[in-house]
Structure 1
Amino acid sequence: MKKQYKDKWLKALLAVFFVFGIGATVFIFSKESNEIVEKSKEGSSSSGNLKLSQEDLAQKNILDSLTNLKLAYDQAILEKTELSQQLEIERKNIENLMEIIKVSKNPSVEQIHIYRKQLSDMNTALVSKGIEVKNLKSQNKSLLTEIESQNVVMYQQKAENDTLISKQKKLESTLKDASRLSLNTFKVIALREKKSGKELETDKAKSAKKLKVSFSINGNSVAKTGKRVFYIQVLDQNNTVLGENKLIEFGNDKALVYSFIVSVDFQGKPANVYGILDSGDDHFVKGTYFVNFFDKQEIMGSASITLE
């Protein structure tokens, strides 16, 4: 009994669900059909404006592409290459086209076609200029590398030249020092003259008629040969230059007042040199006389004599 009662109860419940399901299905399909009909009506009513919306959208897309294109030119101009001026002209063309498109209301299909063609041409120009900029950057990089290499070579060459110049100056200085003549044995004596004409040494001022100065030159195989001139300066007790008392300038802000000159034909071998200072009609007074020996402006030695 209980089992039969349960079977009847289940069959009744299934029947209720079946009826409810059919009703719900009919309701859903009915609602979807109404929505489809309404959407169809809305589509038919707005079909006249759909064409304009598509053209407006195309115009906006072109403006967005031009904006990105302008940004690409801005970046390329920042590279500061030889093409910067050309790139600025292309960027100005983009800006002009953007202004034209912005003021254009309800553009036609033909206008949109023209805008797209211009955008394509500008894209092509950017690609071409980009390749040129890349090539220029590569060339500039190679050029900088070459310049750096040349700078290294020039620096090395300069260092070598500086070393050579330093060595040359040192060698010239060594040669100059080596070629200088060395003088020694500086002497001065007073001479009196006998009636026979023979000259004798004296230390008496009243009988002295001449002062004879002498010195020796050491041999030097690297010194310049030929005529060599030396300047003799004789000073009395009052520091007055006796003799010719002439001034000579040597062209390097150096000057000398000398009494007389002596010369010798130097051939690299040792030589003895002397010169005479004649009192003339006057005579030497008592006192000490100082004699300085010069090779040009350079003093080489000195001597003195005292006459009674």
Structure 2
Amino acid sequence: MENQNSNSKLKAIIAVLSVLLIGSLFYIFKLTSEAKEMQTVVTTTKSDKEAVLKDLAALKSSYDAAIAENTSMSDELIEARDEVTKLMEELKKSKGDVASLSKYKQQYAALEVKMKNMMEEVAVLKVKNQQLTSTIDSTNVVLEDSKKYNQVLVGQNEELAKTVEKGQKLSVTNLKTAAYKQRSSGKQIETDKASRADLLQISFTIAENAIAKTGDKVYYVQVIDAKNNVLGDKATISFGETSLTYSFTTTVNYENKTVNVKEQLPGKDFAKGTYFVNVFDKGELVSKSSFSLR
């Protein structure tokens, strides 16, 4: 009887211990499961934080690249890039819990949309800039061509002006000089002896020129004797930096037709030798000749 009571107590104790053991094992399993879940949450949260930081870094790089293109939206792009940078700094300092990560993900998504919209605007601006650049290049080409053409025209006009100027100049030809003896009767007898000469007769022809200016033309005649003396008036006139000593002047009324000019230069004691006669149109020598007296 006593043995039966002892066995019953022992069985009861074993049953209680079994229940306690099972309870302990269940509690330990629960704690282990919760720890694993917590570790999984922490690991997942850390991974999500790194992923968001990576996405933000990529977004910042996109903004940097867009800013480097130096478009008219550079200020707006810089402002948006600074928002991304600020968000990255805040995320780095945060604990990275689920609530904060959710907030940062939402902010990232908003910035990503903003970036997309701004990139679309930048793309439109690029096209417009390319079109504008193309237009400017075309305009520059046209302007350069026009400049070259104008330079050619200026050169042609200058050459034409020079040609016209040359064409307008009167040609003095057939310059002749002869010595004469003046008789008391007024008759003049040509001579080649210096001792008999009383005057020199200089003649020349102004050729016809249809495009020359009409009106009075003044010519300066210079006669130099064998002793290198200028005969006649010996007057001096300056044309710019050039001075001219002449014997006399003759004024011709020119009307685009041939004109024969004849002038006389009185003198005495003419020297023997070679004489030189020069005709000037202002400071320009237009004809010359020589003759000799014996």
| Fold equivalence (TM over 0.5) | yes
Quote the residue 2:261 is aligned against: 273
Match of 1:297 among 273, 283, 290: 283
Alignment of 1:98-247 (within 5 A): 98-104=88-94, 106-242=95-231, 243-247=233-237
Report the Cα offset of residue 61 of structure 1: 2.2
Please tell me the root mean square deviation across aligned C-alpha atoms, in Å.
Answer: 3.1
Taking the aligned partners of 1:50 and 1:186, their CA distance within structure 2 comes to 124
Taking the aligned partners of 1:193 and 1:232, their CA distance within structure 2 comes to 22
Report the Cα offset of residue 50 of structure 1: 4.6
Report the Cα offset of residue 63 of structure 1: 0.7
Quote the residue 1:262 is aligned against: 250
Contact 1:246–1:259 (CA under 8 A) maintained in structure 2: no
Deviations 1:106-149 (A, max 9, x none): 24555334423432332233223212211121011111221232
Unaligned runs of 5+ in 2: 1-26
Deviations 1:50-70 (A, max 9, x none): 544444333222211111101
Taking the aligned partners of 2:244 and 2:122, their CA distance within structure 1 comes to 73
Taking the aligned partners of 2:128 and 2:227, their CA distance within structure 1 comes to 82
Quote the residue 1:83 is aligned against: 73
Taking the aligned partners of 2:166 and 2:256, their CA distance within structure 1 comes to 15
Contact 1:233–1:291 (CA under 8 A) maintained in structure 2: yes
Contact 2:225–2:271 (CA under 8 A) maintained in structure 1: no
Identity across matched positions, percent: 34
Taking the aligned partners of 2:137 and 2:166, their CA distance within structure 1 comes to 43
3-state SS, counterpart of residue 138 of structure 2: helix
Deviations 1:256-293 (A, max 9, x none): 443332220100111111333343xx642222210012
Taking the aligned partners of 2:245 and 2:148, their CA distance within structure 1 comes to 45
Contact 1:192–1:210 (CA under 8 A) maintained in structure 2: yes
Report the Cα offset of residue 163 of structure 1: 4.6
Taking the aligned partners of 1:126 and 1:254, their CA distance within structure 2 comes to 80
Quote the residue 2:272 is aligned against: 286
Letter of the 1:301 partner, please give it. S
Report the Cα offset of residue 230 of structure 1: 1.7
Quote the residue 2:11 is aligned against: none
Taking the aligned partners of 1:88 and 1:238, their CA distance within structure 2 comes to 95
Taking the aligned partners of 2:264 and 2:208, their CA distance within structure 1 comes to 24
Letter of the 2:49 partner, please give it. Q
Report the Cα offset of residue 202 of structure 1: 3.3
Quote the residue 2:54 is aligned against: 64
Letter of the 2:212 partner, please give it. A
TM-score by length of 1: 0.73
Relative to structure 1, the CA distance from residue 42 to residue 272 in structure 2 (aligned partners, 3 Å threshold; closer, same or farther) is same
Deviations 1:143-181 (A, max 9, x none): 122123223433443454345445434443443343222
Which is worse superposed, 153-162 or 296-305? 153-162
Relative to structure 1, the CA distance from residue 114 to residue 257 in structure 2 (aligned partners, 3 Å threshold; closer, same or farther) is farther
Taking the aligned partners of 1:276 and 1:92, their CA distance within structure 2 comes to 102
Relative to structure 1, the CA distance from residue 93 to residue 163 in structure 2 (aligned partners, 3 Å threshold; closer, same or farther) is same
Taking the aligned partners of 1:44 and 1:108, their CA distance within structure 2 comes to 17
Which is worse superposed, 166-175 or 141-150? 166-175
Unaligned runs of 5+ in 1: 1-36
3-state SS, counterpart of residue 118 of structure 1: helix
3-state SS, counterpart of residue 65 of structure 2: helix
Contact 1:55–1:109 (CA under 8 A) maintained in structure 2: yes
Contact 2:227–2:271 (CA under 8 A) maintained in structure 1: no
